[in-house]
Amino acid sequence: MIAEGRKEGVIALAGLESVGKSALFRHLTGNQTGIETNVKGSTVVFTRGKLKRHSSAEVVDTPGIRYEDDSKTTQMTMDETEDLREIILVVKAPHLKDELLLLDEQLDLRGKQVTVAATHKDRYDPDEEEKRFIKELLNVPVIWCNSRSMKQDEQEELWEAVRSSSRWNLNHHLLTFLPTAQKEKQKHRLEQLLSKSLAGPLLALSMVIGMFAFPVFTAYLFSSYFQPISEKWLVDPLTNSLMNVPGFFQELLIGNYGVLTLGWYSFLWAFPVVFLIGLSVSITEETGVQERITYALTPSLKKIGLTGRDLTPVLTGFGCNVVAVMQTRSCSSCTRGACISMISFGSACSYQIGASLSIFGSAGAPLLFLPYIFMLLIVGAVHTRIWEKNSIPHSSVCSLPYLQPITWRGTIFRLKGSIKQFIFQAMPIFIIICLAASTLDYLNVIHDLVVFIAPLLTVFSLPSDVAPGVIFSIFRKDGLMVLNEGKGSLLHTLELWQVFISVYLASTLSACLVTLLSIYKEMGGGHALKLLGRQMMTSLISTWLLAMILFALFN
């Protein structure tokens, strides 16, 4: 019953990936976003929320478990459920037997209060006789539902099942008497295409490009349209009104790196990218397309030491590298290092994308963004293959989701997390960077740093004025926005190939400090330092080669 056990009033949703746990969480908590918490001091994030029918009780949405898996996320899920007495086992209705056998084997269920929720009944809904047999054999409450769009009576049935949960005292062998996996309805046409050996990977690659190309292009159009409007009605009036404040505060607020000047440009160019990419990713997750894409691309990704599973964190890195590094806990221990390496070098986070779009746009060549992203991915793949050559992809069997129509409640639920993270985590950090940069500029420290690294920039045929962008991109990737100071006056003194090289060097020389800190927490200081050294070496060599090629072509 609710409120019993070592963690009173806490119920865990446990199951394989893509079975509908998050959808059930929304129904149980009233479609709230929940509170993200770390488990046992780790950086694995579980979502918690109060039961809408029992406000003193809490439900926890745990990461999905995978077959034959050695990932840290799977282990953390098992550790968390071990400390709980009340569990809702979420399984796919067509595969109820196989998934219960696996969950009983991997989770310590004996003696716990258990409810079974069989989702995807739209794919298979057993007759009443079979349902009665399953309930009698398991001797715990069992419901069949479509978790993404539960009707009121199904929500009532789920609530009653949770209230009357029973102890799991079943012998593992008895589960073998459950009905075997049932034949499902015909596969969706897109599922069939993505499963093809040749057409599948090509289609999946095209869909990945579309997932990011359209949002980025739309974000660029939006930001480029509103930038002059915001300058006329917001930035310029604020600048004029603050011209008489003391020099130091003037530098902090409206200087080259001021909070109200550079900080605003960061928001204007980064937020649309965060929102639109977050929406794109949320839709592909909600519909099940993302998992199908990663599975189709696995054979190709194995050539650089990754699997399709590792592609999910790499794609997440285009939103936020820190979250992506955390998601690598779902990777095999064999490929996790390679995945983090690829994220650090090749995944341009939304702030980096917004900043680079702003710079290329101010330079009058927004289309430079396309070869820029292409170079990041190609050099990132080569970098990963060279430095992570001992990475051996682990072929685990995953639970692929069914392709389903969009539910906007589910999509918004996922999108809220990305927006909240940008507003309350990313922007405060960038404001701090603006304040730090302004202070250093006021104290002439930036000038000293510029003098220090100027000899390095001459190797790439770049002027010393580019140095601040390289320096501040190490603190945070949208720190390269300082290249846009003075409304792009610096950029107009550079040739286009120099603009390209400047942005590429600033983007790849190092992961931002926040990402490096996350890697340190996840993998240890030694791994973080080794990754930093390798990335710097790859960045300097590839930048030099690119500079030599572009200089020869355009001079």
Give yes or no: residues 411 and 511 share one domain. yes
Contacts of 141 (CB under 8 A, 6+ apart): 115, 116, 135, 160, 161, 162, 164, 165, 166
SS3 47: strand
Mean of the per-residue pLDDT values of the chain: 80
pLDDT digits (tens, 9 = 90+) for 410-433: 788 778 877 876 787 667 766 877
Q: Is residue 114 part of a domain?
A: yes
SS3 543: helix
Q: Is residue 191 part of a domain?
A: no
Q: Residue 5's pLDDT band (boundaries 50, 70, 90)?
A: very low
Q: Is residue 220 part of a domain?
A: yes
**What DSSP string describes 214-262?**
HHHHHHHHHHHHHHHHHIIIIIHHHHHHTTTS-HHHHHHHHSTT-TTTH
pTM (whole model) above 0.85: no
Q: Which domain holds residue 225?
A: 199-554
Give yes or no: residues 166 and 214 share one domain. no
CATH at 59 = 3.40.50.300
Ranges of beta strands (E only) in 348-459 are none
Q: Where among 120, 142, 177 does a domain terminate?
A: 177
Classify residue 486 as left (phi > 0), alpha (psi -120 to 50) or beta.
left
The Cα–Cα gap between 91 and 119 comes to 6
Give yes or no: residues 261 and 166 share one domain. no
Give yes or no: residues 262 and 163 share one domain. no
Among the ranges given (64-73, 140-149, 297-306, 368-377), the one the predictor scored with the smallest mean pLDDT: 64-73
Q: Is residue 187 part of a domain?
A: no
Choose from 61-65, 209-213, 328-332 the range with maximum mean pLDDT. 209-213
CB 340 within 8 A of CB 322: no
Give yes or no: residues 121 and 211 share one domain. no
Report residue 296 CA to chain centroid gap.
19
pLDDT over 90 (residue 142): yes
**Predicted local confidence at residue 43, as pLDDT:** 33
Total residue count of the chain as it appears in this document = 555
Alpha carbon separation from 377 to 297, 471, 502, 508 (Å, rounded): 15, 23, 17, 11
Total domains in the chain come to 2
Give yes or no: residues 542 and 451 share one domain. yes
Q: Is residue 183 part of a domain?
A: no
Report residue 442 CA to chain centroid gap.
37
Give yes or no: residues 297 and 442 share one domain. yes
pLDDT digits (tens, 9 = 90+) for 57-114: 788 887 766 555 555 566 666 666 666 778 899 999 888 998 899 888 888 788 889 9
The Cα–Cα gap between 310 and 425 comes to 25
Q: Is residue 370 part of a domain?
A: yes
Rounded to 10 deg, the angle between the 445-459 and 467-475 helix axes is 110
State percent of the chain over pLDDT 90: 17
